[in-house]
């Protein structure tokens, strides 16, 4: 009888196919599109390599001086026709206040990087579930800007021959951006369209405004890109329309993130929910051999005996008797 019981159990086990591993419907692509906890070493390496690549490609774009100057003249005339050509007036007005223009020179040279990296660190620490999507917006924005630098070389206002603009970094002998002085040979001087000072500052401002909880911090998030717009114009590094190009690149970045993750970054969960431990789903026949109320180990010892005999009540306070395995006759 014991042999037949073992045979029956083995037969059942052999008859039931093993279930396929449950991946919750997630293929490789789906797993890539699911937000995960960022890894610090990977993020540091990724940002460093990405910025190095961006700078390399941006500076490798041919400095087409003649075409860039022609484009600047055309853009300046377009703004005059639209009645928004106020960059020269702002440039001269701010330049007359030494402490203000020197401060703007340092603003232009430093905050572009400091604030952007600061927002990335804040996202990494406080919003890990939204970090990857928001970083994708930044990367896509910067990537599409490289296409603009190649297709539309544009001289900044300070380099126009007949524009009358003042190069404030040179005039006030301040350490500034890589656009003037001894550092100008390290950067492409004719990559003004689109403005990544605007692209990155609006990205930072929108992120802070959407995710910060303290009201005055959210207000600062809105003021930062506004101040950046004034700075890039006052220092004669960009036209108004360069800022429009930066906003268009940012809109592209948000579109890419929306298509990839299915939501805008701020709509994703703040924290990454750990995936449940991988378990095999129970087969439909599992548990048929269990006696009512008995644990699986007890029920599986003698499936035939427990399934044929009715359950016997036990005395109060005593656990049910453990069924004994049958032995061969």
pLDDT of res. 33: 60
Encode pLDDT of 42-59 as tens digits: 777 877 887 777 777 766
pLDDT at 1 over 80: no
272-302 residues labelled b (16+ CB within 10 A) or e (exposed)? beeeeeeeeeeeeeeeebbbeebeeebbbbb
In whole angstroms, give the CA distance from residue 306 to residue 299: 7
Best mean pLDDT range from 69-78, 187-196, 307-316: 69-78
What integer is the mean pLDDT of 311-329? 53
Paired residues of 283 in beta bridges: none
Structure tokens, 91: 């440039």
What are the start-end ranges of the E strands in the chain? none
In whole angstroms, give the CA distance from residue 288 to residue 87: 82
Distance of CA 38 to the CA centre of its chain: 10
pLDDT at 321 over 50: yes
* Confidence label for 39 from pLDDT (cuts 50, 70 and 90): confident
pLDDT of res. 190: 86
Q: Which residue has the tokens 């994708």?
A: 136
CA nearest neighbour of 184 among 167, 162, 165, 163: 167
Q: Which residue has the tokens 């717009």?
A: 229
* Confidence label for 269 from pLDDT (cuts 50, 70 and 90): confident
Can you give the length of the chain in residues? 329
The CA–CA distances, whole Å, from 309 to 10, 16, 325 equal 21, 25, 14
């Amino acid at each position: 009888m014991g042999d037949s019981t073992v045979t029956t159990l083995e037969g059942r086990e052999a008859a039931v196919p093993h279930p396929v591993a449950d991946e919750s419907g997630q293929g490789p692509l789906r797993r890539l599109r699911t937000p995960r906890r960022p890894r610090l070493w990977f993020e540091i390496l990724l940002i460093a390599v990405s910025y190095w690549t961006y700078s390399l490609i941006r500076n490798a774009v041919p400095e087409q001086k003649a075409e860039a100057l022609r484009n600047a003249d055309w853009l300046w005339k377009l703004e005059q026709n639209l009645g928004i050509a106020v960059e020269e007036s702002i440039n001269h007005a701010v330049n007359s206040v030494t402490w203000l223009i020197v401060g703007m020179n340092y603003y232009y040279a430093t905050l572009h990087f400091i604030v952007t990296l600061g927002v990335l660190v804040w996202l990494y620490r406080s919003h890990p579930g939204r970090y990857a999507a928001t970083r994708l917006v930044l990367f896509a924005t910067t990537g599409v800007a490289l296409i603009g630098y190649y297709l539309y070389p544009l001289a900044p206002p300070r380099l126009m021959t007949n524009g009358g603009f003042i190069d404030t970094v040179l005039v006030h002998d301040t350490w500034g951006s890589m656009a003037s002085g001894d550092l100008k040979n390290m950067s492409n001087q004719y990559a003004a369209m689109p403005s990544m000072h605007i692209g990155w500052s609006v990205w930072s401002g929108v992120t802070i405004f959407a995710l910060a909880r303290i009201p005055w911090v959210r207000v600062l998030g809105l003021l930062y890109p506004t101040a950046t717009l004034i700075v890039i114009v006052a220092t004669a590094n960009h036209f108004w329309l360069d800022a429009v190009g930066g906003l268009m690149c940012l809109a592209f970045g948000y579109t890419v993130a929306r298509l990839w993750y299915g939501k805008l970054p701020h709509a994703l969960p703040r924290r990454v929910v750990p995936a449940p431990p991988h378990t095999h789903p129970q087969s439909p026949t599992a548990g048929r051999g269990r006696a009512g109320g008995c644990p699986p180990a007890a029920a599986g010892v003698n499936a035939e005996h427990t399934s044929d005999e009715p359950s016997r009540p036990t005395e109060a306070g005593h656990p049910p008797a453990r069924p004994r395995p049958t032995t061969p006759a």
